[in-house]
Amino acid sequence: QVQLEESGGGLVQTGGSLRLSCTASGQTFSGYSITWFRQALGKEREFVSAISWSFSRTYYADSVKGRFTISRDSDENTVNLQMNNLEPEDTAIYYCTISTLQHPPRAQGAYCNWGQGTQVTVSS
C-alpha cells in the first residue's frame, strides 16, 4: 500500500496563504489521480480538489474554486495544493488520497488509502 504524507499546514490569518504538499513514500504518483479532502471538527470529510494523471485535469469544490490551485511537480513525486485568500471556514485537517481512476471520485467512500493529514487553521 502506498504511504501518503501531507505537509504544509499551519496557522494563518484570514486572507493568508498556505501551500500543502502530498508525497508518496518510495514511489512516484505516476498512474494515480490525487485528491484532497478536508475534515472540519464535527463535520464529515469533504472533497476539496483533485488532479488526474492521464490528462492533468483539475477539479475543485465550489467553495474553493478561484482560491485554491492543485498542481503536480514535474518529477511526479509531489502534488501541491496552493491555498490563497483563506477563510476561517477553510479550517480543517487536510488529507490527500489516491485513485487509479482517470476521473477521481468526489465521495470519500471511494478511497481507502489516507495520509495522517495536516492541520490548517485560519484565524479571523
- Cα angle vertex 101, ends 114, 54, to 5°? 110
For 102-116, the pLDDT digits (tens) are 889 999 999 999 999
Residue 55: the pLDDT is 64
Share of the chain above pLDDT 90, in %: 77
Q: What distance in Å separates the CA atoms of residue 26 and residue 42, rounded to the nearest whole number?
A: 34
For 29-58, the pLDDT digits (tens) are 888 899 999 999 999 999 999 999 776 799
Average pLDDT for residues 51-69, to the nearest whole number? 91
Q: Which of 65-79, 90-104, 105-119 has the lowest mean pLDDT?
A: 65-79
Q: Which of 89, 79, 80, 78 is nearest to 120 (CA)?
A: 89
Average pLDDT for residues 92-106, to the nearest whole number? 93
Share of the chain above pLDDT 70, in %: 99
Average pLDDT for residues 16-40, to the nearest whole number? 92
Residue 51 contacts residue 72 (beta carbons within 8 Å) = yes
Average pLDDT for residues 91-95, to the nearest whole number? 98
Q: Which of 108, 113, 118, 119 is nearest to 6 (CA)?
A: 118
Residue 111 contacts residue 105 (beta carbons within 8 Å) = yes
- C-beta atoms surrounding 48 within 10 Å: 25
- Judged by DSSP in three states, 94 sits in strand
